[in-house]
Amino acid sequence: MNDSQTPIPDNPDSFTAAVKAAYPRMAALLEAHPEINNGHFQSQAAAITMENGSLKSKRKKFFELADVFNKATGKYAVCQKGCAHCCYMPTMIYAHEAEILGQATGIKPAPVPYRDRSVVLADAVRQFGPPCPFLGKDNGCTVYDHRPLICRLHHSLNNNPNDCVVSESGTKAPIAKIDADVIEAPYHALVLRQASREPWGTIQMFFPNR
Ligand code: SF4
């Protein structure tokens, strides 16, 4: 969702005292889950990609892997129910994820056409501001069990949740997090290989009238 991040060190032992003090949540997470720095999620994602199953079943497994990632990071993240700064960013989803949301809510997604990713992203940047159409009045996600992959991976290991206040130019402060690309990048590669012209866009594009 946002590119500003504090890179995780190659080795948790290389965490200096200063970095540990600045990012205690990151330090605690890496101490509790050393597998994060040992390629665990990359190898799990690669194994799913190599399976013989259908694209649909592989996607389901990517979501399950994202939930494992979410469980590990969530315990140390500053994110709490009621904090929804990230839900004001353009949330990028595939048509398949829009269908899941449509089935869960009974709202038919709009027929978004396939467009080149660079065109979609240029459009998405202009959509900062309005919240996700599924953000509830209490700032909770109304489609939590059905939320897109990107929502399951997003987190902040900063101390202050307000660092995530976001505008077109980025968040208020660099966000310490585990790089979601360990799961997101192979997920994109899988979809591009097996459904190369599947529409992709912001959640607002798929649900413009909600
Ligand atoms: S689907 Fe839920 S978690 Fe994702 S952006 Fe919308 S409200 Fe936030």
Two tokens, residue 174: 């660099």
pLDDT in tens, 112-136: 999 999 999 999 988 777 899 999 9
pLDDT of residue 7 exceeding 80: no
Residue whose Cα lies nearest atom 4 of ligand 1: it is 151
State the closest ligand 1 atom to the C-alpha of 101, by its place in the atom list counted from 1.
1
138 CA → ligand 1 middle, Å: 13
Q: Helix or strand or coil: residue 5?
A: strand
Q: Is 205 exposed, middle or buried (0-12, 13-18, 19+ CB in 10 A)?
A: buried
What pLDDT is stored for residue 210 in this prediction?
Answer: 72
Residue whose Cα lies nearest atom 8 of ligand 1: it is 87
| Cβ < 6 A, ligand 1 pocket | 87, 91, 132, 134-135, 141, 143, 147, 151, 203
Tell me the average pLDDT of the chain.
90
Q: Helix or strand or coil: residue 63?
A: helix
pLDDT of residue 2 exceeding 50: no
Mean pLDDT of 21-44: 92
pLDDT of residue 111 exceeding 80: yes
